[in-house]
Amino acid sequence: MQCVRRQPARTKSQESLYRASLALVLPTGLEDDGDLQFLMNGGDLLKVRSGSWKKTRYYKLQEDCKTMWHESKKTLKSKQTFSVEDIDEVRTGRQTESLRKYTEESVEGRAFSILFKGRQKGLDLIARSEEEAKKWVGGLEKVISNIKNLTPQKKTEHWIYSCLRKADKNFDNKISQKELKSFLRDINIEVSEDYAEMLFQKCDKSKCGFLEGKEIEHFYEILTQREEIDVIYEEYAKTDGLMSAADLLNFLLHEQKEDVSQNDALQLIEKYELDENAKAKQQMTKDGFLMYLHQPEGLISNLAHENVYQDMNQPLNHYFISSSHNTYLLEDQLKGPSSTEAYIKALLKGCRCVELDCWDGSDGEPVIYHGYTLTSKVLFKDVIKAIQENAFKTSEYPLILSLENHCSVEQQKIMAQHLISILGSALITKPLGDQMPTCLPSPEELKGRFIVKGKRLDKLEDMFSESKTADEESVTEEEDDEGDEEDQEKKSSKTKLLKLAKELSDIVIYCKSVHFHGFEDSQDKHNTDKLSRIYPAGLRTDSSNYNPVPLWNAGCQIVALNFQTACPEMDLNRGLFLQNGQSGYNLKPSYLRDRDTKFDPITLPDGPWLKNKTLHVMVISAQQLPKVSERKSSIVDPVVKVQVYGVPADTTMVETQYIENNGFNPMWNENFQFDVRVPDLALVRFSIEDYDSSSNNEFIGQYTLPFNSLKKGYHHVPLLTKNGDHLSSAGLFVHIMVVDAE
């Protein structure tokens, strides 16, 4: 019989704190939701790691409604919690490799998995009953959804409240001066004793030696005051101290340089004003103005670019395509795990070209892994199933399956069977139309379709003639360097016999792999009417990446990176494909699609690519930066870097002074200027680091976007982690101006 743990009853003050916390995180009425109450009461779950490691653990949602606590037998391990905000997905059933491998089908209805952002290992769990499994999953999904939908102000309020509650050691709803100093350290501010005392005395109106009620509210107001917002708002709020629709329109036209009308200003007031009285008068308060600046309309990236806005009817080779190298790997290239999860993560990030290194497996089933290494193996058919289920969740445009084929003819036939049976009619198995195509089809024509890239026995035009193909087992193919970097030293020559199954060859339609012999051999076709795929060298065994920008400048379409590696190069990839609805397809500039182009990114001769612009960036402030060290006493010293990537003449970097001991609300007000000659190929990267005079700075957050997606005026810049996940509440505040260079 399993032991059911019961939580001690809350005291009156704890119940008050609990209710206040729920009110900040959850919509009205949801605090009494049955699934949520189930999570907060907690319960036992069977944790599954392997066939022999299955142990019961106790889980519960803590009273901040953002943190899950779990029992651990490692009593010396201090961290026994994880944040709900770190959860990427809650997946019902036996939908992970571990659960499928180590559990029976009979637990399907009781099983679920918690998958985390980044490289954090997921949790495979089995509830005591199907009913309880539904409550766990339902409760977690509700909390996750509500946290995602919190306004920035609510997130700030809840975060500060949680830190205040943590500082209130005896749960008496009062804050002493010592507790206030501890609280400031928790939110990433270090202040002198004199300043802490001055702040405390300013709020302690009752002079009783602690803050409570309205005094804590006053302290919160002082803490969250945005002086820079006050200055901007007061300059434009000309109607009895508030912004009328006309005042807001004046701000949008003259400061934000937007092409809008008074009706647009009225819509913003209706959408974001918090005060109902002000809204009724068609006015915007300072709180409403700050709310607007935190919303998509107030962020730095052009809102129109969040949807597909480019022409998607050009041939495939006219686009940059988001591409992954050795997609199956979660870590390094030598001994890391291969997993279907790696494919799912890449696809959900908008990747449109994935790689499959295929080798003969046991029991006649081909496998995917990094050949001649200690990386683990995953079944080819399991990968294709995962791809089929997740291919078009982020982007509806075609997915290219880049096959690196090392299999015997028999297992190649099985590969073809799996591709055809699992992908069905979505798999391209013949050219579109009844005639030999003269160019590649467009992303629009191939929506929702899979394209196999690999070797082919004959030419595509043979499909439209009476001729027969060569015997499937006697074809000589030149070895493609691509995908074979792991055994370069084992090669004695550059060509070898490649026995290819006709069944697999026949489903390679538009993307036949051909070895690249050099630019001289390819001058008549390179990067304008063919697809070029670039990938990391074999020496990058740590799964590091190269700078993709020079390859994009040269017009290369499929610039494949190790998606599993958090690095500045992946930041650039995310930044480039942030636009066009994150479709994974970006239309190349016209001069990179023209066979007769004279464009050269190095020499920059005169031409339509020269659109000389001057970019002015004012780095104003940042908000709620996370700590980079677990140590309570460690406060960040933030420094901001602004980098432009593009053609060599445009590539540059500047940085601000560092602000000492303030990660909560640092302010710089520093101005920078950039000359950008080829804006179509430029990316702008904002990054914040923790300054260290004696060693390398530590990364805090970054955001990269195309130059042409920058919005003018005052804007918040959202910050992403190394893995590309949003840093909740954290942000940078800047002013942007772009003018034609003289």
**First-last CA distance in the chain:** 81
DSSP letter for 536, please: -
* Separation CA 152–CA 218 (nearest Å): 20
Our measurement of the distance from residue 75's CA atom to the centroid of its chain's CA atoms, rounded to an integer in Å, reads 34
CB 358 within 8 A of CB 380: yes
Please compute Rg for the chain using Cα positions.
29
Q: Which of 271, 348, 347 is nearest to 303 (CA)?
A: 271
- Of 699, 526, 728, 556, whose CA–CA distance to 629 is shortest? 699
Helix, strand, coil percentages for the chain (3-state, nearest 5): 35, 25, 45
Give the position of tokens 């942007």. 736
Q: Which of 158, 305, 370, 406 is catalytic?
A: 370
Sheet holding 726-740, edge to edge: 652-655, 638-645, 683-690, 698-706, 713-720, 726-740, 613-623, 667-676
Instruction: Give the closest residue to 86 by CA, choosing from 111, 68, 60.
Output: 68
Q: Residue 478, exposed/middle/buried by CB under 10 A (0-12, 13-18, 19+)?
A: middle
325 counts as catalytic: yes
Number of H-type helices and E-type strands within the chain: 19, 31
For residues 461 and 463, what is the distance between their CA atoms, to the nearest angstrom? 5
Q: How far is residue 63's CA from residue 14's CA, in Å, rounded to a whole number?
A: 9
Q: Are 585 and 352 in contact (CB under 8 A)?
A: yes
| Catalytic choice (158, 305, 318, 325) | 325
Region of 42 on the Ramachandran plot (φ > 0 left; ψ -120 to 50 alpha; else beta) = left
Give catalytic status of residue 726 as yes or no.
no
Q: How many CB atoms are closer than 10 A to CB 469?
A: 15
Q: Alpha-carbon torsion 726, 729, 732, 736, what sign?
A: positive
Closest Cα to residue 323, out of 354, 292, 298? Answer: 354
Q: What is the CB neighbour count within 10 angstroms for residue 346? A: 25
Residue 364 C-beta-side C-alpha neighbours within 13 Å: 5
Paired tokens of 118: 């980044």
What amino acid positions are annotated as catalytic residues?
325, 370
